[in-house]
């Protein structure tokens, strides 16, 4: 039995609520997603679950968990993105129907190398086939800004998605040649399922601008994120055999000067991410640049 861990978010404008480190259901047409949030816990695998469905509430779920980790400076391990109880009043949640964002996230004191970083977590869903129930996209974005007066060194971010493709995990696999770097220089993991009776085809996990990926069993990758040492991934696919498989993307941003920001983007697309699927991401990033 596996223990869930994960997280998600995105920018919006319609609804605004202060001091809300709380969950939010987001929808676009028939596509629906939600993510639970961890309490004040920066160590180990936070117990956080996620859903990504293409046919509305009660339809087939394709995602078991989604979450982020970070380390920087003298940190000797990765830290789960989380908010100390005393800092939760400073978190601001904004949302529209299809997106939600948590901003002004400060990590607990145990994450010593990240104390001058303020995080913003954004999630969005995109319905790619209108009335259909076989195509959709989930986008998770984590941005980090150095609010201090000194450089934050060796900023590294991680996003892990525990696949639940076609509503079950024993059949998930990443075949030889189905993980790598695409023509735009982005890391990807292509997930298939030996028990796909719903006609979903494949699910793509992209790390936009990621430095490395890893694919393998949930227990192994969860163990790496939850251990007490520093972990790095090296574009390795250990998910060749059907089973409870998961994928992780890693961004090595290096030093972050005072006032500077970096952004990591992780995307799930069902089935194949063609021009239509990428349109949602393009519009999102353009809007974010206009606000910057």
- Domain borders along the chain are 15-291
Distance of alpha carbon 193 from alpha carbon 181, whole angstroms: 21
| pTM, 2 dp | 0.89
Single out the residue of 138, 173, 181, 167 nearest to residue 246, CA to CA.
Answer: 173
Cα angle 50, 200, 184 (rounded to 5 degrees) comes to 80
Q: How many residues does the chain have?
A: 292
Tell me the per-residue pLDDT of 214-260, one tens digit each, with 9 for 90 and over.
Answer: 999 999 998 999 899 999 999 999 999 999 999 999 999 999 999 99
Lowest-confidence segment of 74-78, 116-120, 130-134, 190-194 by average pLDDT: 130-134
Specify the higher pLDDT residue, 8 or 279: 279
* Low-confidence winner among 30-34, 44-48, 193-197 (lowest mean pLDDT): 44-48
* Residue 5 pLDDT greater than 90, yes or no: no
For 288, the 3-state DSSP assignment is: helix
Give residues with Cβ within 8 angstroms of 210, minimum separation 6: 186, 187, 249, 250, 251, 264
Q: At residue 18, does pLDDT exceed 60?
A: no
Query: What does the pLDDT read at residue 149?
Result: 98
Instruction: Domain 15-291: state its class.
Output: mainly beta
pLDDT-based confidence at residue 7 (cuts at 50, 70, 90):
very low
Taking only the tens place, the pLDDT of each residue in 136-176 is: 999 999 999 999 999 999 999 999 999 999 999 899 999 99
| CB 125 within 8 Å of CB 30 | no
First-to-final CA distance of the chain: 43
pLDDT at 89: 86
Structure tokens at 166: 């076609």
The H or E element spanning position 213 is strand 212-217
Tokens, residue 273? 């991410």
Please give the helix or strand (H or E) that residue 126 lies within, else none: strand 117-127
Q: For residue 281, which phi and psi values (nearest 5 degrees)?
A: -65, -40
Q: Is 75 helix (H, G, I), strand (E, B) or coil?
A: coil
User: In 140-149, which positions are buried (b, 16+ CB within 10 angstroms) versus exposed (e)?
Assistant: bbbbbbbeee
* Position with higher pLDDT, 53 vs 41: 53
Q: Which two tokens stand for residue 120?
A: 């913003």
pLDDT at residue 85, as a whole number:
82
CA 215 – CA 177 distance, rounded (Å)? 12
- Select from 90, 50, 107, 16 the least CA-distant residue to 266: 50
Report phi then psi at 157, rounded to 5: -120, 150
pLDDT at 74 over 70: yes
DSSP annotation string for 162-185: EE-GGG-STTEE--TTSEEE-TTS
User: Mean pLDDT for the chain?
Assistant: 87
| Whole-Å CA distances, 244 to 77, 102, 125 | 25, 30, 24
Summarize the confidence of residues 171-183 as an average pLDDT: 96
């Amino acid at each position: 039995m596996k223990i869930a861990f994960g997280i998600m978010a995105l920018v919006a404008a319609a609804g605004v609520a202060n001091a809300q480190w709380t969950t939010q259901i987001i929808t676009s047409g028939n596509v629906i997603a939600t993510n639970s949030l961890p309490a004040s816990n920066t160590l180990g695998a936070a117990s956080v679950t996620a859903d990504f469905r293409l046919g509305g509430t009660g339809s087939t779920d394709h995602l078991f968990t989604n979450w982020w980790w970070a380390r920087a400076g003298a940190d000797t391990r990765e830290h789960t993105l989380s908010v100390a109880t005393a800092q939760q009043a400073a978190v601001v949640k904004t949302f529209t129907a299809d997106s939600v964002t948590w901003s002004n996230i400060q990590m607990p004191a145990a994450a010593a190398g990240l104390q001058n970083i303020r995080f913003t977590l954004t999630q969005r869903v995109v319905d790619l086939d209108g009335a259909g129930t076989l195509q959709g996209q989930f986008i998770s974005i984590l941005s980090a800004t150095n609010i201090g007066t000194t450089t934050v060194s060796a900023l590294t971010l991680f996003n892990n998605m525990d696949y639940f493709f076609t509503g079950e995990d024993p059949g998930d696999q990443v075949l030889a040649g189905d993980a790598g770097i695409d023509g735009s220089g982005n890391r990807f993991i292509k997930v298939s399922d030996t028990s796909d009776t719903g006609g979903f085809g494949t699910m793509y996990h992209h790390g936009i601008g990621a430095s490395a990926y890893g694919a393998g069993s949930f227990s192994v990758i969860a163990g790496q994120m939850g251990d007490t040492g520093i972990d790095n991934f090296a574009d390795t696919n250990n998910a060749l055999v059907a089973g409870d498989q998961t994928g992780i993307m890693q961004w090595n941003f290096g030093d972050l000067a005072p006032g500077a920001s970096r952004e990591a983007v992780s995307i799930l697309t069902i089935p194949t991410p063609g021009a239509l699927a990428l349109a949602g991401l393009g519009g999102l990033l353009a809007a974010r640049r206009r606000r910057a």
